[in-house]
Amino acid sequence: MMFGSKAPEFVVLQAQRSDVDRIAALHGENFARGWSGHEIETMLDRPEATVLVIRRVGAPNEPICGFNIYQQSLEEAEILSIAVDTEYRRLGFADRLVRFAISALQGDRVKALFLEVDAKNHAAIGLYDRLGFRKVGERPAYYQGGDEGEAANALVMRLTLD
């Protein structure tokens, strides 16, 4: 870093249609069964769903660095999918995406936020633990096609928001 320059800033925003292909690409890079652009567009059109992205401030044409897709129903919400580009991991982007959602959901008076996470994804589980999520269940063999084709269990986690 040159003297006097500062690190670029990043911001969490609502996804735009122009983000769909990048979200689908990130989803495919991070999950055994990636979502298509059409599936992402469907999420953008659903009133109960929110699609957030994180991107560099002042760089609307640069690819997004990560996304968080969640939905809410009355007093509960669920994170459906969240991922960060490998180049931007360990910079707190997933934390920012989840905290942004939590804040919005609290404003909507949602009482609980749920998610499912691969029981082997220790980094994500650590993040969710730090944010106050607690394990409330487990889904055996929920994730198909993981390491060496083995199915992985999902932990069901809950965060109380009220």
25 closest CA partner among 57, 66, 62, 54:
66
Q: Which of 48, 62, 128, 143 is catalytic?
A: 128
Q: Angle of helix 93-107 relative to helix 122-131, nearest 10 degrees? A: 40
Q: Is 76 a catalytic residue?
A: no
Catalytic entry in 48, 87, 116, 143: 116
Residue 75 annotated in active site: no
Q: What separation in angstroms does the CA of 118 have from each of 90, 131, 148?
A: 18, 17, 15
Catalytic machinery residues = 116, 128
